[in-house]
Amino acid sequence: MKSWILMLLALSLPMAVVAEEEGDGAAKVSYVTLNPPLVGNYALDGSAKLRVYKADVSLRVTGDEAMKTVQLHEPLIRNQLVALFSQQTVESMGNVESKEKLRQEALKQTQQALNQEEGKPIVEDLLFNNLIVQ
């Protein structure tokens, strides 16, 4: 009989934790998409070949207040990202590993810009919904 009660208690504990978390009023995760997509030139090395990128970027934040703050600072974020993309080379835009490094650097610069403006990084992750380079 005791083992039955212990098993019942063990199974009910995770449900109690889930109920507490749901009732906690935890903030929801949101994605802020930068519209329109970022478009510009990169690898400006003096050659005659024009290189162009198009980046569809989304920023992951938690809570409505964070989403509003990111939207408020979208021009600053866009400026940082355009400057970063325009500094890239053919090699840094050419393969999956390089694009992942670029994504991480874009996240870092976005967080730094928001940290300077708001005192905290706010953005948790930066995602490329689409990244086209020519």
- Tens digits of per-residue pLDDT, 84-129? 999 998 888 888 999 999 999 999 999 999 999 999 999 999 999 9
Is the pLDDT confidence value at 132 over 50? Answer: yes
Cβ-based neighbours of 30, under 8 Å, separated by 6 or more:
60, 61, 62, 63, 64, 66, 67
Report H helices in the chain. 2-23, 64-72, 74-86, 96-118
The domains found in the chain, sorted by start residue, are: 27-133 (3.30.479.30)
pLDDT of residue 44: 74
- Torsion angle, alpha carbons of 106, 108, 114, 116, to 10: -130
CA dist 123 to 34, 43, 72, 104, 118, Å?
Answer: 13, 28, 13, 12, 11
Give the C-alpha separation, 47 to 131, whole Å.
Answer: 23
In this predicted structure, the answer to whether residue 17 has a pLDDT above a threshold of 50 is: no
Q: Quick one: which of 52, 64, 121 has its CA closest to 88?
A: 52
Confidence of residue 19 (pLDDT cuts 50, 70, 90): very low
Residue-level pLDDT at 64: 95
Q: Using CA atoms, how far apart are residues 30 and 63, in angstroms rounded to an integer?
A: 7
94-100 long-range CB contacts below 8 Å, 24 or more apart? 94/133, 99/128, 99/131
On whether the pTM is more than 0.75, the answer is yes
Q: What are the tens digits of pLDDT across the range 29-81?
A: 999 999 999 999 998 766 668 899 999 999 999 999 999 999 999 999 999 99
